C-alpha cells in the first residue's frame, strides 16, 4: 500500500471516529435532557400546593421583531409597558415559534403540537376548495381551559379558518371579538387623523375614493359583523379590558392576538406625533404603531392590577413570528426575518409573568417554544392534557420557578415545504435550495458564518434527527399561497423560495 493510501485510510478512520464520538455525545446529552424533563415535571407537581386557580392571559403580537421593543435592550422605540411585563417575570432570550408565518404559527400555539402533525403547514387561504383551517379534530388550549371550568375569551385576529366550523366560538371560546381572517385596515384610512404609508410597489390608493370598509375581513362580535370605527389596536384593548372586568370573579383564559404591528402601515395622529424626530415615513408610522401596541398592553396590565388580579394571573407575551424583511423593521442581531427559517424569522420576543410564582427579573437562555404555552397553562391550573395524543410542548413552570435550569427541549424543528431547519444545543442547520447552512449560535447568533463544510458529521446527525421527526408528520392539507423569492430573501447569493 502506498504512503498516500495509508494516509487516506488513516484520515477516513479518524473522521469516522470523530463522527461516532460526536453522535455518542449528542445521544448522551439527549438522554440526560429527556430524563431531567421528566424529573422536574414530577417535582413540580409534587411541590404544587393547593391555591386559587390562576387566570391566564396570552398576548400575541403580530410581526414584532426581536429588536422592535425594549425587551432585549434596544431603544429605537420606547415600549415601557412591554419592558415592564418582561421585567416582572421571566424573559426568554431564545424563544421560538414553529413557523415564520402567522397562521401555521398560531396553529401550533393553540394546540401545543407541531402544525405538521395535522397538515396546517401553509396559510389556509391557499386551500383551493376554501376549506382551509385548523382541523376540527385538534383540541385547542381554549377547549382544555373551558373543560377545566374556565371562562374563555378571545379578542383580536384568529386566522385559523374562516368557515363556520373553524370559528373561535366553535373552538373552545365562550366570547369572541375580532376578525377570523388575516387582518384588515386599522381604521378608515381616508380619515383626516389617519397617517398611512403604502409600499412603492403596491398600487396607490385613490385619495378621492371613499373607503369601502373591511369587507370579508370585517370585525365580528361573536358571529355578527359590526362596524368598528375605533383604531383597531385600541378597540382590541378596549374589549380585552372589558372581558377582564366582567370575568374578575371567576377564573378566566383570555387570548389577545393583536393585529399590530402587521401591515398595512396605518396609525392615528395621536401616536404619529410621538415620533416627529423620525424622518423616514415608513419607520415613523411603524414605530408609532408599536407605541400604540405598547399603550394597549399597559392598559391590560393596569386592568389586572385595578381588579386585584395581577398577583395570580399568568401573562404571556410573544410575537407570532419575526418582523418582515424591510427597512423599517428591526430583528437585530438576528439574520433576515418573517417568511424565512433564519433566526430573524422564528426567534421572537417572549416573556411570562406570574407574580405569585415567578420571580421578577428572571432571564432564561435555553431554547423554549410557543408549543410550551399549552402544557404550561394547563399545568398551572391543575388541568388535564389531552389523553389521546402527545403534545410537542413542555411545561415550563419548573424552569421559570427555579426548580431546574436544564434545557427543556432536546431539539426544535421547522418544515416549510422543501425547506427545513433543526436546532440542537448550539447548532442550527438550515436546508434550503438543496443546500445546507450550519451555524454555531453560541458564538454566531447572527448566522453569518456557514460551517457546514467544516462539520459534516454534525450536518449528518441533524439531518437524521429531522428525518426521524418528519416521519411522524403528514403532508400539507393544502398548497402554499406562494413564496417569497426576492433578492432580499436570498442567502449568500443563493436564491431561495420561502413558501407561505
Is 74 designated active site?
Answer: no
Q: Which of 116, 120, 159, 424 is catalytic?
A: 159
Residues forming beta bridges with residue 402, ordered by sequence position:
none
Residues forming beta bridges with residue 369, ordered by sequence position:
96
| Cα separation, 159 vs 183, whole angstroms | 8
Pairing verdict, β 252-257 and 313-319: unpaired
| Cα separation, 372 vs 351, whole angstroms | 12
| Cα separation, 462 vs 44, whole angstroms | 31
Whole-angstrom CA distances from 332 to 76, 99, 337 are: 11, 19, 10
Number of H helices, E strands in the chain: 11, 21
State whether residue 126 is helix, strand or coil: helix
Is 339 designated active site?
Answer: no
| Cα separation, 120 vs 427, whole angstroms | 27
Between the two ends of the chain, the Cα-to-Cα distance in Å is: 55
Burial string for 153-166 (b: 16+ CB within 10 Å, else e) reads: bbbbbbbbbbeeeb
Burial string for 312-348 (b: 16+ CB within 10 Å, else e) reads: bbbbbbbbbbbbbbbebbbbeebbbbbbbbbbbbbbb
Whole-angstrom CA distances from 238 to 242, 263, 299, 303 are: 6, 21, 9, 10
| Cα separation, 78 vs 477, whole angstroms | 42
| Cα separation, 43 vs 26, whole angstroms | 26
146 close to 247: Cβ distance less than 8 angstroms: no
| Cα separation, 336 vs 212, whole angstroms | 35
23 close to 461: Cβ distance less than 8 angstroms: yes
Q: Which of 197, 164, 201, 203 is nearest to 180 (CA)?
A: 164
Whole-angstrom CA distances from 378 to 48, 114, 155, 340, 431 are: 13, 18, 20, 31, 35
What backbone torsions phi and psi does residue 137 show, to the nearest 5 degrees? Answer: -75, -15
Q: Which of 67, 102, 167, 424 is catalytic?
A: 102
Catalytic positions, written as ranges: 102, 159
Amino acid at each position: 500500500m502506498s504512503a498516500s493510501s495509508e494516509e487516506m485510510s488513516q484520515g477516513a478512520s479518524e473522521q469516522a471516529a470523530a463522527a461516532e464520538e460526536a453522535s455518542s455525545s449528542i445521544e448522551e446529552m439527549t438522554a440526560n435532557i429527556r430524563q431531567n424533563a421528566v424529573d422536574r415535571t414530577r417535582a413540580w407537581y409534587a411541590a404544587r400546593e393547593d391555591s386559587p386557580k390562576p387566570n391566564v392571559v396570552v398576548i400575541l403580537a403580530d410581526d414584532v421583531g426581536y429588536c422592535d421593543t425594549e425587551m432585549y435592550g434596544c431603544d429605537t422605540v420606547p415600549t415601557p409597558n412591554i419592558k415592564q411585563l418582561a421585567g416582572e417575570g421571566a424573559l426568554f432570550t431564545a424563544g421560538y415559534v414553529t413557523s415564520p408565518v402567522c397562521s401555521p404559527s398560531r396553529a401550533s400555539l393553540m394546540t401545543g403540537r407541531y402544525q405538521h402533525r395535522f397538515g396546517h403547514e401553509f396559510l389556509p387561504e391557499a386551500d383551493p376548495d376554501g376549506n382551509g383551517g385548523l382541523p376540527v379534530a385538534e383540541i385547542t388550549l381554549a377547549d382544555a381551559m373551558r373543560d377545566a371550568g374556565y371562562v374563555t375569551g378571545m379578542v383580536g385576529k384568529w386566522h385559523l379558518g374562516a368557515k363556520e366550523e373553524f370559528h373561535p366560538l366553535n373552538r373552545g371560546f365562550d366570547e369572541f371579538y375580532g376578525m377570523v381572517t388575516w387582518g384588515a385596515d386599522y381604521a378608515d384610512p381616508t380619515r383626516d387623523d389617519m397617517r398611512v404609508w403604502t409600499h412603492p410597489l403596491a398600487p396607490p390608493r385613490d385619495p378621492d375614493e371613499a373607503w369601502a370598509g373591511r369587507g370579508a375581513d370585517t370585525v365580528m362580535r361573536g358571529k355578527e359583523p359590526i362596524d368598528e370605527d375605533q383604531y383597531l389596536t385600541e378597540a382590541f384593548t378596549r374589549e380585552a379590558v372589558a372581558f377582564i372586568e366582567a370575568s374578575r370573579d371567576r377564573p378566566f383564559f383570555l387570548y389577545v392576538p393583536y393585529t399590530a404591528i402587521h401591515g398595512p402601515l396605518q396609525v392615528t395622529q395621536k401616536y404619529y406625533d410621538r415620533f416627529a424626530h423620525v424622518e423616514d415615513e415608513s419607520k415613523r408610522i411603524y414605530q408609532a404603531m408599536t407605541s400604540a401596541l405598547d399603550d394597549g398592553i399597559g392598559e391590560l396590565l393596569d386592568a389586572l392590577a385595578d381588579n386585584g388580579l395581577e398577583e395570580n394571573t399568568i401573562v404571556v407575551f410573544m410575537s407570532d413570528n419575526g418582523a418582515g424583511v424591510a427597512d423599517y423593521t428591526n430583528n437585530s442581531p438576528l439574520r433576515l426575518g418573517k417568511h424565512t427559517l433564519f433566526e430573524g424569522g422564528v426567534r421572537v420576543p417572549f416573556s411570562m409573568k406570574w407574580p405569585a410564582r415567578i420571580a421578577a427579573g428572571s432571564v432564561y437562555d435555553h431554547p423554549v417554544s410557543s408549543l410550551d404555552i399549552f402544557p404550561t397553562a394547563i399545568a398551572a391550573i391543575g388541568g388535564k392534557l389531552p389523553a389521546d395524543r402527545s403534545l410537542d410542548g413542555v411545561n415550563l413552570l419548573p424552569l421559570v420557578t427555579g426548580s431546574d435550569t436544564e434545557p427543556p427541549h432536546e431539539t426544535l424543528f421547522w418544515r416549510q415545504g422543501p425547506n427545513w431547519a433543526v436546532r440542537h444545543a448550539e447548532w442550527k442547520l438550515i436546508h434550503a435550495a438543496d443546500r445546507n447552512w450550519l451555524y454555531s449560535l453560541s458564538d454566531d447568533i447572527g448566522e453569518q458564518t456557514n460551517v457546514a463544510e467544516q462539520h459534516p458529521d454534525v450536518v449528518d446527525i441533524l439531518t437524521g434527527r429531522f428525518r426521524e421527526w418528519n416521519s411522524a408528520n403528514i403532508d400539507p392539507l393544502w398548497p402554499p399561497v406562494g413564496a417569497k423569492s426576492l433578492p432580499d430573501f436570498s442567502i449568500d447569493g443563493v436564491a431561495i423560495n420561502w413558501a407561505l
